Structure 1
């Protein structure tokens, strides 16, 4: 294992100059999606780097982020599709809202209670019509004590997240070459409350003190290399070759070495236009997952199988005067012991029904690999010894209407329905042995879910005032899938899934250098199952944060951020409390 980590160090040095991040082709039927690509000076959007006061994340659907300040020297972006988190502190101008159109670099550093530290630095080395090259690094860490909700006990919650990368693009006459790399290092402890079954506690059983001090270490090495045609080429193409190496240092204790996952990925898209407003194409991706397990004779606790996954998506697109249509289908497969094949629609339609008002409908589907790397982004405290069956999302449909017809006011009203087989829920671990980590969470796979949702997203802007409000109602139906032996029927709840979510924000600019912002998040109706038979309602997530920023000039600014100003106690994962009130102060420098 020492040899493996030595090789990783050499690989990081070698790949930093030769690797890529390539964006997938975007669906042009929705004009509100990022049709114009841009390479930002900020780091790649990644949920593993977040506010220092957030030590775990809530797995819900990702929503694209609309940036207020464009970066006018950039020509493309690196899209990502991680799970949305409760709070994420992006780098650079998000804290002080400084524009980077005339600056090449940024530096942000903040420190606060609980030994919370946030830091970001990045620099755009090249910024010409032909060449774009930027490097970035982000750090989030915390090392403070939090108090359990269930017991009057405090425990230290430790986190040390680091993410660094380099991106390069060269524009030739007819195509673009994209190269990039990313390295991630995350150290954390399993500080969750150990579970003791009250039924078992009646009998005299031997109890062990769980290991809540040892730091698990997750490391990620990623690189890609790709080519992409010019945007309006008669024959369009995209080819992206990628590799991800992800590893856990430990399995369930510091005496057990963890597994390593190697993922080889190929993405492609071929398309040709005809008739002036029509296009046919074929897109897809193929992934091969290879696992390196410890060879010390104690790998019986690891359950991983090498396998391949793939998707092929033929499609047809047509653009009208005030409408767009995409007709396609996704054909997906998984090999190995859980070999499966599925077909889902790939359809999208939008039409401008009135001035600045668009009616839209989307029906798609997706195969979620649930790889070690993907699951670590959703829940870092998950059992590192279990492979999770890929989830098959047969249908993900949304119908809505969005409008910006009123001056300064924008709204989006929507409803949708999702059907997923082999969905994944998370439950607290029920047992642990001597020397093992305590409350690591167990993935409850093989669950079939149906999810209806409806909501509205409202935004208003008037000179010195910005207001946003989004509310979503969720109705979940979950039942045991065919992979369960001896269990059938409906679950009492879709464990951990919120029934209602509200996001609200108010930003005030009383005078030019000063900005005061409030953001609020509420999640209700979450339940968890304990010990396989007991349903418990979790406390609502009820968080209000206050941020004040002051820009002395376009180079230097300061900020103060107060988190959880209502002093609420809540958990994202059962037994894993988040910090109570915390404060942070920092500086932001553009250069």
Structure 2
């Protein structure tokens, strides 16, 4: 048995092993993948956001004052009354208006606006007003035209918004206000009284969201006229919002307004000689202000700090002004008292003067006006839900306050040259110079608005001014009393506005003879009342007609010495509102 077992094992070992013929292969199975929400990776951490204090939600605390009130009132079951909320007015993004009036006065105005779903916006605005007929009894042309156009683009980004705007203006006037010098017809025929002002401005603005740098603005302007005058103004302003809670957690943010300004310009000559007039003023400013509430008082504490450098006249100034405002409710929601003291450094520009008085001569001395202080106190509030009011009194002191004073004529009515040089269109006593004086002004101002009904609103204001001059004998061409009264009426289809204003007499100079000569007395410009009406009718949501009536009383008054205004004026037209 043992031999057989051993022999069997020996036989098994010598038998040949069969080779495995099965090969290893990869089988690829392709099928459509249908993802499921459960397949997505789960975010196991929440993001940590760090916001500025001004972006955090403030905790609100509610206090209820409960006191027993003896009452015999028994509520009575009644019927709920309907509330007349009126018809909701449909608003449009675009409109076009055109009209025509007496004095051959065309009118056109349009606004086009377009926005996209990508938070961008584009807009265009233009307006043209003109009058081609002369004012009655004027010896020179007295027509005018005003044109302006604005185009802008605005974009909202993730962390900031930005906007670019281009402005353009072209205004034409005439120095038609000749003095009573008995001008010969030959002299009148040689006077070229036309003046044209051109203005171009590029402005860029960026607003940051939830940042210490709040807003920045860059503006470049160019202003010129028909007599080779030019002016460039560059402004760069930045507002900062700085947290103070790192010092003490109960403090509010500090707002800091900064700015750089460069004013540079020239006039071809001054009024006395043929010498060129140049001006160049650089100004840097910083205005920190802190707002807080304390024991019912609302406070704004600040200061305005300026560095001014007049390079043409080699005059440098470092100035600090207060900027303090305070107010407190006396009767909650009905009466508030306020007051403060502030000051400012104002840069005067040729463009600003031409807007206030388009009949100035291009021969001006340019400087800045320092408002050393302005102290004011007042009351405002409402007597009920329909009557609102504001009353204030102020005292301010200004260095180099600008005043418009009529230029003396270089012509006696016959001659058209001076020292062999032909007279320009503004040298016949028909233009204004700018003089400066240190002035203290005491003012009282009051205004009242009354919502008589939902359709009718009344508003009025009144202002008294008392001027204390240093060098000049009068506050030239400034009224000491002025008031206005406005009535507005509006229904679903009709609307109308009446504006009545009154300005008391003003003073200008009279001269004894042709330039150069001394003053010979005062010219008094009479007070006047001007009544203006405008209204219209809405045919539907898109079409309407309008009518504007100015100087309804046909008063022949003068806004500036020797410059009569147009009489009764009527202009009518149609307007169309639409959306794209």
State whether TM-score is above 0.5.
yes
Q: Which residue of 2 aligns with 1:169?
A: 154
Cα deviation, residue 127, structure 1: 6.3
Cα deviation, residue 181, structure 1: 0.9
Task: Find 1:455's aligned residue among 432, 445, 449.
Answer: 445
Give the 5 Å matches for 1:144-223.
Answer: 144-147=133-136, 153=138, 155-194=140-179, 196=181, 208-209=187-188, 213-223=192-202
For each residue in 1:50-109, what CA deviation from the matched residue of structure 2 results, as whole angstroms up to 9, or x when unmatched? xxxxxxxxxxxxxxxxxxxxxxxxxxxxxxxxxxxxxxxxxxxxxxxx999641211112
Cα deviation, residue 293, structure 1: 6.4
Q: Which residue of 2 aligns with 1:121?
A: 110
Cα deviation, residue 285, structure 1: 1.7
1:416 paired with 2:394, answer: yes
Taking the aligned partners of 1:530 and 1:324, their CA distance within structure 2 comes to 51
- Does the residue aligned with 2:134 lie in a helix, a strand or coil? strand
1:380 paired with 2:358, answer: yes
1:248 paired with 2:225, answer: yes
Give the 5 Å matches for 1:219-230.
Answer: 219-230=198-209
- Give the superposed CA RMSD: 2.8
Inter-CA distance 553–363: structure 2 relative to 1 (3 Å threshold): farther
Q: Which residue of 2 aligns with 1:391?
A: 369
Give the 5 Å matches for 1:263-302.
Answer: 263-273=233-243, 274=245, 275=249, 278-291=252-265, 300-302=274-276
Task: Find 1:368's aligned residue among 341, 346, 363.
Answer: 346
Inter-CA distance 106–330: structure 2 relative to 1 (3 Å threshold): same
Cα deviation, residue 350, structure 1: 2.4
Q: Which residue of 2 aligns with 1:589?
A: 576
Q: Which residue of 2 aligns with 1:577?
A: 564
Unaligned stretches of 5+ in structure 1?
1-97, 251-257, 481-490
Cα deviation, residue 410, structure 1: 0.8
Q: Which residue of 2 aligns with 1:504?
A: 485
Cα deviation, residue 154, structure 1: 5.2
Taking the aligned partners of 1:321 and 1:580, their CA distance within structure 2 comes to 56
Inter-CA distance 439–108: structure 2 relative to 1 (3 Å threshold): farther
- Does the residue aligned with 1:305 lie in a helix, a strand or coil? strand
1:441 paired with 2:418, answer: no
Cα deviation, residue 431, structure 1: 2.3
Q: Which residue of 2 aligns with 1:350?
A: 327
Instruction: Give yes or no for contact 1:401–1:414 (8 Å, CA) kept in 2.
Output: yes
Cα deviation, residue 315, structure 1: 2.0
Inter-CA distance 101–240: structure 2 relative to 1 (3 Å threshold): farther
Taking the aligned partners of 1:535 and 1:127, their CA distance within structure 2 comes to 61
Cα deviation, residue 456, structure 1: 1.1
Taking the aligned partners of 1:124 and 1:508, their CA distance within structure 2 comes to 28
Count of residue correspondences: 462
Inter-CA distance 436–498: structure 2 relative to 1 (3 Å threshold): same
Q: Which residue of 2 aligns with 1:313?
A: 287
Instruction: Give yes or no for contact 1:195–1:431 (8 Å, CA) kept in 2.
Output: no
Higher relative contact order (CA 8 A, sep 6+): 1
Q: Which residue of 2 aligns with 1:561?
A: 548
Inter-CA distance 379–293: structure 2 relative to 1 (3 Å threshold): closer
Instruction: Tell me the TM-score normalized by structure 2.
Output: 0.74
Instruction: Tell me the TM-score normalized by structure 1.
Output: 0.73
For each residue in 1:200-241, what CA deviation from the matched residue of structure 2 results, as whole angstroms up to 9, or x when unmatched? x9xxx9x944865542111111011232223xx362422211
Taking the aligned partners of 1:290 and 1:390, their CA distance within structure 2 comes to 13
Cα deviation, residue 125, structure 1: 1.5
1:514 paired with 2:494, answer: yes
Inter-CA distance 211–221: structure 2 relative to 1 (3 Å threshold): farther
Instruction: Give yes or no for contact 1:191–1:213 (8 Å, CA) kept in 2.
Output: no
Q: Which residue of 2 aligns with 1:523?
A: 503
Inter-CA distance 172–111: structure 2 relative to 1 (3 Å threshold): same
Instruction: Give yes or no for contact 2:126–2:147 (8 Å, CA) kept in 1.
Output: yes
Cα deviation, residue 380, structure 1: 1.6
Cα deviation, residue 463, structure 1: 2.1
- Does the residue aligned with 2:257 lie in a helix, a strand or coil? strand
Taking the aligned partners of 2:442 and 2:213, their CA distance within structure 1 comes to 37
Inter-CA distance 265–247: structure 2 relative to 1 (3 Å threshold): same
Inter-CA distance 124–430: structure 2 relative to 1 (3 Å threshold): same
Cα deviation, residue 138, structure 1: 0.9
Taking the aligned partners of 2:88 and 2:308, their CA distance within structure 1 comes to 45
Taking the aligned partners of 1:519 and 1:127, their CA distance within structure 2 comes to 40
Taking the aligned partners of 1:318 and 1:234, their CA distance within structure 2 comes to 21
Inter-CA distance 405–293: structure 2 relative to 1 (3 Å threshold): closer
Q: Which residue of 2 aligns with 1:487?
A: none
- Does the residue aligned with 2:410 lie in a helix, a strand or coil? coil
- Does the residue aligned with 1:377 lie in a helix, a strand or coil? helix
Taking the aligned partners of 1:127 and 1:452, their CA distance within structure 2 comes to 52
- Does the residue aligned with 2:393 lie in a helix, a strand or coil? strand
Stretch of structure 1 that moved more, 284-293 or 412-421:
284-293
